Structure 1
């Protein structure tokens, strides 16, 4: 039963990432795209890794995956913020009227 639940959660993560890729192509603005990419990457990764932890059971492997998950939760928003901030400070602005 837990194996099935893990498969369902992994599938939800994959579907979420697919919708996110569609959202990235839908937006024209750099800042909108980077926002969508950051959210999709973080939430999709969280759901997929949660499914992997459930499928493998609670063991040393799950602890390692959980530590990777925590590092990803901390570093991904920071990296996205630094990319958007460097684009802003380098003079990249949103074009009006598009």
Structure 2
């Protein structure tokens, strides 16, 4: 993903795999570990992410995805794998509702 696509303001859909890769990249950067050290099936809290880091991650994801994220999602979908699938579903749902009146 190029920065120009992300910053262009054009809302696009992302697959669960793309969101997953984005989450792994951002979480590994926050924690100062290699992306291959992040297991998408491990609970996020097992990596020691604190609430401030969770808020930063949610804020970055909101910019990427184009909709407000509730931190409660991190509780309901505690792994990167589960969270990325749910966010992809949310994107698909919001795309289909854009033209409804």
**TM-score, scaled relative to structure 2:** 0.40
Instruction: Give 1 or 2: higher helix fraction.
Output: 1
**TM-score, scaled relative to structure 1:** 0.40
Q: Which has the higher contact order (CA 8 A, sep 6+)?
A: 2
Q: Which structure has the greater CA radius of gyration?
A: 1
